């Protein structure tokens, strides 16, 4: 891992960073825990602990596994003409208590389609809303786990679910440390930002101040000649939510080319998953390309199975899920992890084979961690 610190590495092999610092010191290498370590140092640690250190990322390893089954993850297949516009996938980020949860709830509630369907909304980790922009019906998918923890957890797995980030800033509080953190995460991921200046119903709200503050961080409002859209909202009073949705669509149209080929085997990401007492493992997946069908053979992380049923965020059964659509999938053999990928494969047998290989690899990695830990303890004791 280029640029990874000794602490990162220690975490990977499940030992205390201080132990590695100490060991390296006794070998004549002065390295602090936060310092990034090069491959030679990792090799040195490996030699000392009698391990072969191979610098391979889990993502590369998985890519190789899939290649051996002639599967490529993430690429659209087909011609340019097969691609159709897909809804943007949005993550809501911002400082604690600035209204991320309230905003996600308000947007879900404001959705006309949900009202018409009359279904009871349930939390499945993501939802889709419909809005009208320039007389056209447009859809937006929201990842319903606010905060940049989920965002970074996915990115750490090499997964990018988010197309656009809504940065929520409370107009009474202004820019706070986690506002900047969220901003930096979005920038690092190269994800365009729409700013929701929230709580404008409050008497001490100062949306102009928020604009000035973010300008200092290089996020310049359109009205000041920049390219970021700022929308004053109140999640509580449900004010300007349609304007916020419009800003998301306009930002997507202006700076992204969001298209996917729906006529191919589905692939995407697991947003969240859990074990349901009655239904067994359930996973909310986000389809990123292709169309997912009931009956498809899929592998999701170390889980496999046939899609027995799919539900949307209103509890309605779906027979298909198109690009950017979140769907709760029933029929998996186990509970996959958030951020792991799912892939439709030719048949159940292939799904099981891939899942078994992944599971074996996860098990081996765990055992290796335990062995390294024991060997390191011996080294320290001697
Ligand atoms: P989160 O930590 O960012 O998820 O923030 P929450 O959504 O939990 O909101 C924090 C607090 O601010 C709660 O008490 C909300 O009711 C309140 N809040 C959120 N949005 C608004 C708003 O637009 N106006 C007012 N007055 N209060 C809000
Ligand atoms: Mg919250």
Q: How many CB atoms lie within 10 A of CB 146?
A: 23
Q: Is 147 within any annotated ligand binding site?
A: yes
Q: Calculate how far, in angstroms, residue 102's C-alpha sits from the geometric centre of ligand 1.
A: 6
Q: Residue 208's pLDDT is what?
A: 97
Q: Residue 1's pLDDT is what?
A: 38
Residues 6+ apart with CB under 8 A from 132: 138
SS3 track for the chain: CCCCEHHHHHHHCCCCHHHHHHHHHHCCCCCCCCCECCHHHHHHHHHHCCCCCCCCCHHHHHHHHHHCCCCCCCCCCCCHHHCEECCCEEEEEECCCCCHHHHHHHHHHHCHHHHHHCCCCCCCCEEEEEEEECCEEEEEEEECCCCHHHHHHHHHCCCCCCCEEEEEEECCCCCCHHHHHHHHHHHHCCCCEEEEEECCCCCCCCHHHHHHHHHHCCCCEHHHCCCEEEEECECCCCECHHHHHHHHHHHHHHHCCCEECCCCECEEEEEEEEEECCCEEEEEEEEEECEEECCCEEEECCEEEEEEEEECCCCCEECEECCCCEEEEEEECCCCCCCCEEEEECCHHHHHHHHHHHHHHHHHHHHHHHHHHHHHHHHHHC
pLDDT band at 223 (very low <50, low <70, confident <90, very high): very high
Q: Which of 93, 94, 97, when mutated, tests ligand 1's pocket best, judged by the most ligand atoms within 8 Å of its CB?
A: 97
Q: Mean pLDDT score of the chain, rounded to an integer? A: 88
pLDDT band at 170 (very low <50, low <70, confident <90, very high): very high
Measuring from each residue's beta carbon to the nearest atom of ligand 1, which residues come in under 6 Å?
A: 94, 96-102, 146, 198-199, 201-202, 234-236
Query: Among candidates 225, 262, 221, 228, which has minimal Cα distance to 248?
Result: 228
Q: Is 97 within any annotated ligand binding site?
A: yes
Q: Residue 32's pLDDT is what?
A: 87
Q: Calculate how far, in angstroms, residue 94's C-alpha sits from the geometric centre of ligand 2.
A: 10
Q: Residue 2's pLDDT is what?
A: 47
Query: Among candidates 132, 333, 345, 126, which has minimal Cα distance to 250?
Result: 132
Per-residue pLDDT at 99 exceeds 80: yes
SS3 track for 289-323: ECEEECCCEEEECCEEEEEEEEECCCCCEECEECC
Overall average pLDDT of the 13-34 stretch: 85
Separation between Cα atoms, residue 207 and residue 311, nearest integer Å: 39
Least distant ligand from the CA of 104: 1
Nearest atom, ligand 1, residue 95 CA: 3
Q: Which of 24-28, 44-48, 247-251, 311-315 has the highest mean pLDDT?
A: 247-251
Contact at 8 Å (CB) between 353 and 69? yes
Phi-psi region of 33 (alpha: psi -120 to 50; beta: other; left: phi over 0): alpha
Measured at the alpha carbon of residue 358, what is the angle toward residues 360 and 123, in degrees to the nearest 5?
A: 125
Nearest atom, ligand 1, residue 168 CA: 3
Q: How many CB atoms lie within 10 A of CB 250?
A: 16
Q: Residue 368's pLDDT is what?
A: 75
Q: Is 95 within any annotated ligand binding site?
A: yes
Tokens found for residue 242: 């349609």
Q: Residue 76's pLDDT is what?
A: 66
Q: Residue 67's pLDDT is what?
A: 93
Contact at 8 Å (CB) between 378 and 48? no
Nearest atom, ligand 1, residue 239 CA: 23
Q: Residue 45's pLDDT is what?
A: 83
Q: What confidence tens digit (pLDDT) does each residue in 280-299 have?
A: 999 999 999 999 999 999 99
Q: Residue 322's pLDDT is what?
A: 96
Q: Is 125 within any annotated ligand binding site?
A: no
Q: Calculate how far, in angstroms, residue 93's C-alpha sits from the geometric centre of ligand 1.
A: 13
Contact at 8 Å (CB) between 161 and 91? yes
Nearest atom, ligand 1, residue 235 CA: 23
Q: What is the ipTM of this complex?
A: 0.99
Per-residue pLDDT at 138 exceeds 60: yes
Q: Is 96 within any annotated ligand binding site?
A: yes
Atom 18 in ligand 1: which residue has the minimum CA distance? 99
CA distances from 65 to 291, 357, 358 (A): 23, 8, 8
R_g of the chain computed on alpha carbons? 23
pLDDT band at 151 (very low <50, low <70, confident <90, very high): low
Query: Among candidates 233, 235, 218, 143, which has minimal Cα distance to 184?
Result: 218
Phi-psi region of 339 (alpha: psi -120 to 50; beta: other; left: phi over 0): left
Overall average pLDDT of the 141-147 stretch: 80
Overall average pLDDT of the 2-10 stretch: 75
Q: Calculate how far, in angstroms, residue 98's C-alpha sits from the geometric centre of ligand 1.
A: 6
Query: Among candidates 196, 92, 194, which has minimal Cα distance to 148?
Result: 92
Nearest atom, ligand 1, residue 202 CA: 26
Q: What confidence tens digit (pLDDT) does each residue in 174-211 have?
A: 999 999 999 998 998 899 999 999 999 999 999 999 99
Overall average pLDDT of the 336-344 stretch: 91
Overall average pLDDT of the 92-104 stretch: 94
Nearest atom, ligand 1, residue 234 CA: 23
Q: Which of 98, 102, 239, 243, when mutated, tests ligand 1's pocket best, judged by the most ligand atoms within 8 Å of its CB?
A: 102
Q: What residues pack around ion ligand 2 (CB closer than 5 A)?
A: 100-101
Q: Is 94 within any annotated ligand binding site?
A: yes
Least confident among 62-71, 121-130, 281-290: 121-130
Per-residue pLDDT at 117 exceeds 60: no
Atom 2 in ligand 1: which residue has the minimum CA distance? 97
Share of the chain above pLDDT 70, in %: 91
Least confident among 79-83, 119-123, 240-244: 119-123
């Amino acid at each position: 891992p280029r640029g990874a610190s000794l602490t990162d590495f220690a975490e990977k092999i499940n030992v205390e960073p201080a132990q590695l610092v100490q060991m390296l010191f006794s070998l004549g290498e002065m390295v602090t825990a936060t310092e990034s370590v090069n491959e030679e140092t990792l090799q040195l640690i490996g030699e000392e602990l009698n391990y072969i250190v191979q610098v391979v990322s889990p993502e590369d390893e998985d890519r190789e596994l899939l290649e051996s089954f002639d599967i490529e993850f993430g690429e659209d297949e087909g011609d340019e003409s097969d691609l159709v516009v897909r809804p943007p996938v949005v993550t809501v980020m911002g400082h604690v208590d600035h209204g991320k949860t309230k905003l996600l709830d308000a947007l879900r509630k404001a959705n006309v389609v949900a009202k018409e369907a009359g279904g009871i909304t349930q939390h499945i980790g993501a939802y889709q809303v419909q809005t009208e922009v320039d007389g056209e019906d447009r859809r937006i998918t929201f990842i319903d786990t606010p905060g940049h923890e989920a965002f970074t957890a996915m990115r750490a797995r090499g997964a990018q679910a988010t197309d656009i980030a809504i940065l929520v800033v409370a107009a009474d509080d202004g820019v706070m440390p986690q506002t900047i953190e969220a901003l930096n995460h979005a920038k690092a991921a190269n994800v365009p930002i729409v700013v929701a200046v929230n709580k404008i119903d409050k008497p001490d709200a100062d949306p102009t101040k928020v604009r000035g503050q973010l300008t200092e961080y290089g996020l310049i409002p359109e009205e000041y000649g920049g390219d970021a859209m700022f929308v004053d909202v109140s999640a509580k009073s449900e004010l300007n939510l349609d304007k916020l949705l419009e800003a998301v669509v306009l930002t997507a149209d202006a700076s992204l080319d969001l298209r996917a080929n729906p006529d191919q085997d589905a692939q995407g990401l697991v947003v969240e998953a859990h074990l349901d007492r009655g239904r067994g493992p359930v996973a909310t997946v986000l389809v990123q390309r292709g169309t997912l069908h009931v009956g498809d053979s899929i592998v999701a992380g170390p889980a496999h199975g046939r899609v027995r049923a799919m539900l949307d965020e209103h509890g309605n059964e779906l027979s298909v899920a198109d690009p950017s659509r979140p769907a709760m999938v029933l029929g998996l053999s186990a509970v996959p992890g958030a951020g792991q990928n799912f892939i439709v494969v030719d048949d159940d047998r292939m799904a099981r084979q891939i899942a078994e290989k992944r599971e074996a690899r996860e098990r081996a990695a765990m055992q290796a961690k335990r062995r390294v830990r024991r060997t390191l303890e011996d080294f320290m004791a001697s």
